[in-house]
Chains A and B, each alone.
Chain A
Amino acid sequence: MALGRAWSVAVTGIDGQVVEIEADIGGGLPGVKMVGLPDTALQESRDRVRAAVANSGAKWPDSKVVLALSPATLPKVGSVYDAGLACAVLNAANIVPLDLLEKTILLGELALDGRLRPVRGVLPAVLAARRHGWCKVVVPTATLSEAALVEDVDVYGADTLADLVRWLQGDGPLERPDEHRAPPRPVRGDLSEVVGQHEARRALEVAAAGAHHLMLTGPPGVGKTMLAQRLPGILPELTEAHALEVTAIHSVAGSLSPDRPLVTEPPFVAPHHTATVSALIGGGTGMAKPGAVSRAHRGILFLDEVAEMPVKTLEALRTPLEDGEVRVARRDGVARYPARFQLILAANPCPCAPARDADCICAPAARRRYLGRLSGPLLDRVDLRVRMQAVSTNALMGDTGESTEEVRARVENARAAAAERWAAHGWSTNAEVPGPALRQKFRLAPAALRPLERALRKGAITARGADRALRVAWSICDLEGAASPSELHVATALEFRDRGTA
């Protein structure tokens, strides 16, 4: 038989599509032709596959080989098809039988000596395979634990093409994943290490409870970054579905660690303030790769020195904040990545940023311009504004604050209460609840609204500010375990309001 087949998966963004690979050995001058919109890396795989087959001890056909990847209109990118291409040729050459081959998805890049090399995006590829009804997947051994995260699919790890061929012939075993072990939560900085800053810690807790976006301002060295880094620790662990979502993105980004592939803790992504729009949102030639906002999906995007960031970069954040996903169009198509993150902004109050605000030497205009660059639409989504205060000396000597563990217990309870309350409406956290719902359907008692009315009347907050305060009040109320926010909770929420740039 001169026609061979094999199957692999094309990953676009984090969605995958099964690709059928056909190899035809026919008459003509010896040579290899590949059709089906291959990119450069895939064009080169002709040579890789040929060398790998030869170096694995099999014989490359002596006549013309045509390789086709279908659907033909789908652009194929990268080296993940190498294993499939090799097996399709070997199937055509009657070396590998079809029985096992036609039930298996093959993923992996080939080295010239026949080793199977790891590729990116194995997890989304396996997920796609399962979605399309496939139940056997062979991946490079190095990515076996990542692939094993997907349940109801038999995954096998192959070290070399020779191993793979023997397995397909029914002659030898492949590696199977170890028993799934719950990886220990990595040790991060503990909240008790933060000195003083009771108010900012409290704000962090409220932000965690309601998944509110948070803005920290304060002189350098007061611990803005330190606090922000401790936020993932007090957030609840990702649910299994969310963990897979996050892991899939990190798989495409190529940032998974091989020994602990499943991302269970909310990711913490902190791009530098010189980051470009593409770095933040996603980009790259051909097919866009996920940017910082997607890597921070279900986690935290921390923008330090946000006032130094170019306005264009910041404005680019508005769409993902609104939609919870980004769609980046590039030459080879539109990649869609989820990007539902909690935004933490940190900034100095002014360009010169002395340790004590009173020592500021900035011109008033420069001071006003500094934070004024943050646009209204962006800041509109930030429910909590916290001005951190310089640490007094006695705080350094004082007793340590609560540990991450204790705070996380409260946050988990608050999140659960919020999720239960909003479940019927399709929201899971307080930050997601739209303003009209807060004002009408879940209107508070008149007594509880009084501080808000007072602030509105004084012009201290805008109508949008009132919505924000209501959201925060719900979170404070959830943390205390109350049924609905009281006057006390609403008044406390007013502390986190926008006070302008002064």
Chain B
Amino acid sequence: MTDERRLAWAYLSTVAQGASRSLSALIDEHGVVEVAERIRAGTAKGEVAARLRSRAHLDTAATDLDRLARAGGRLVTPDDDEWPAWQFLSFDRLDTATDTEGAPLALWVWGGRRIDELAERAVGVVGTRAASGYGEHVTSEIVGDLAADGWTIMSGAAFGVDAAAHRAALGVGGTTVAVLACGVDRAYPAAHAQLLRRIAETGLVVSEYPPGTSPARYRFLSRNRLVAALSAGVVVVEAGWRSGARNTAAWARRLGRPVTAVPGPVTSAASQGCHRMIREGEARLVGTAREVVEECGPLLGSDDGRDGLFRRELDGLSEDMTLVYEALPGTDACDPAALAESAGLPIERVRAALPLLELDGFVVATDAGWRRA
């Protein structure tokens, strides 16, 4: 893509300050450079041009791109390979939508990963900023398992559940994406500057607003739409009666993404929103990562016995485990040395396989040795 086109995208993104269906349609019709030219010159016609006229002079695109590039960020536009076009298709299917409820014009990102890769297998995890101890605990349990299984965790870097989700994903070495309601160069909330830096190291920080944009109430609502759009499904961990998380959930439903919610104590104010969504059929009840994957993931048999979800993770040892298990006599107990002999494996590998088999409940250790469970 030429610099000219990128500058045009950056300019339009700055001027539009968010998505605009009519502007997107205009771009589809005339091309991005042409549209940018007309807006800048004030020669564009129609309602959209009138609305943008007051900001048309804001031509900071070149400096913005420059500054962001130096900080390790970039602008991702629909021209780019990594544009998550598939995820944004669902905006076209909305029955009724206002002008701003569309796919973003472009995404400003900070971090080295490709956005389409991260969005391929992603779950949005959202919830109240005033999370209880229970909420943070459940978040880190579910997110830890999901992230360890290779799911990207999408969230909004807010206090409470959002932060717990990002941290849990980073904690197990997984990837996570923070979608901001301000420029990616602004740390908001400021207390999360360090957290955002860590997210950008292994994942991405994403915003549809140009660098320097400050957060505003309506931007949070549009941000929620992006979290939902970039995820295969959304988990609401704790949400009060009136919570932004319910807005994210609503967006997920509009975009055709499954919504799940984690219940809490019926006495807890922080879980009222979740309970309401479950009761009104807006969300499915989940308690574990496995149940989240059943709702959001590709089809897989739910009755495949022992943790099919996590089976592929032990490639390195699963063959040994099979051999060792088969080498165990039907009823008698056996010690590792004898097992090594009959399984034809070095004793070190037998010693490694046995505890794993025990974890899975296939074998037990008795005072006479190892036997089948």
Contacts and interface: CB of A to CB of B under 8 A. Distances in A.
A452 to B, nearest CB: 10
A198 B317 contact: no
Given A198-B337, A487-B316, A488-B348, A451 B367 contact: no
Contact of A199 (B335, B353, B366): B335
B336 A454 contact: no
A495 B351 contact: yes
Q: Which 9 A-B pairs have the closest CB atoms?
A: A491-B352, A494-B355, A357-B367, A492-B352, A495-B355, A488-B352, A487-B316, A492-B351, A450-B313
Interface of B: 145, 148, 172-173, 310, 313-314, 316-317, 335-337, 348-349, 351-356, 359, 365-369
Given A198-B336, A199-B335, A480-B348, A492 B359 contact: no
Given A357-B367, A390-B367, A454-B356, A488 B349 contact: yes
A480 B353 CA distance: 17
Contacts of B313: 450, 453-454
Given A488-B348, A488-B349, A457 B368 contact: no
Interface in A452-502: 453-455, 457-458, 460, 480, 486-489, 491-492, 494-495, 497
Contacts of A457: 145, 148, 310
A460 B356 CA distance: 11
Nearest to B316: A487
A392 interface: yes
Contacts of B173: 443, 446, 449
B314 A389 contact: no
B368 A389 contact: yes
A29 interface: no
Contacts of A389: 335, 366-369
A219 B367 contact: yes
Contacts of B317: 451, 487-488, 491
Nearest to A202: B351
A397 B260 CA distance: 62
A387 B310 contact: no
7 contacts: A356-B368, A389-B366, A389-B368, A451-B314, A455-B359, A491-B353, A495-B355
Contacts of A390: 367-368
Interface string A177-220: 00000000000000000000011001000000000000000110
Contacts of B337: 198
Given A454-B310, A454-B314, A488-B352, 17 more contacts: A357-B366, A357-B367, A387-B367, A389-B367, A389-B368, A446-B173, A453-B313, A457-B310, A480-B348, A489-B352, A491-B352, A491-B353, A491-B356, A494-B355, A494-B359, A495-B351, A495-B354
A1 interface: no
A219 B368 CA distance: 11
A491 B356 CA distance: 7
A453 B148 contact: yes
A447 interface: yes
Contacts of A449: 173
Contacts of A458: 359
A424 interface: no
A358 interface: yes
Contacts of A492: 348, 351-352, 355
B168 to A, nearest CB: 13
Contacts of B316: 447, 450, 486-488
Interface residues of A, number: 34
A15 B339 CA distance: 55
A356 B369 CA distance: 12
Contact of A387 (B172, B336, B352, B365): B365
A460 B361 CA distance: 11
A356 B359 CA distance: 25
B321 to A, nearest CB: 9
Contacts of B368: 356, 389-390, 392
Nearest to A389: B367
A460 B353 CA distance: 15
The residue in B310, B313, B352, B366 that gathers the most chain A C-beta atoms within 10 A of its C-beta is B352
Contacts of A356: 367-368
A392 B338 CA distance: 13
Nearest to B315: A447
A358 to B, nearest CB: 7
A178 to B, nearest CB: 49
A478 B319 CA distance: 25
Nearest to B357: A491
Nearest to B352: A491
A196 B326 CA distance: 24
Query: Could you say which of B145, B335, B353 has the most chain A C-beta atoms within 10 Å of its C-beta?
Result: B335
Nearest to A446: B173
Given A199-B336, A389-B335, A480-B348, A454 B359 contact: yes
Contacts of B349: 488
A460 B172 CA distance: 17
Contacts of B310: 454, 457
A488 B316 CA distance: 8
A219 B317 CA distance: 32
Contacts of B336: 198-199
A334 to B, nearest CB: 42
A457 B314 CA distance: 14
A184 B359 CA distance: 48
Contacts of A450: 313-314, 316
A454 B355 CA distance: 11
A189 B172 CA distance: 46
Contact of A494 (B172, B356, B366): B356
Contacts of A486: 316
Nearest to A469: B355
A278 to B, nearest CB: 37
Interface string A376-402: 000000000001011010000000000
A492 B313 CA distance: 17
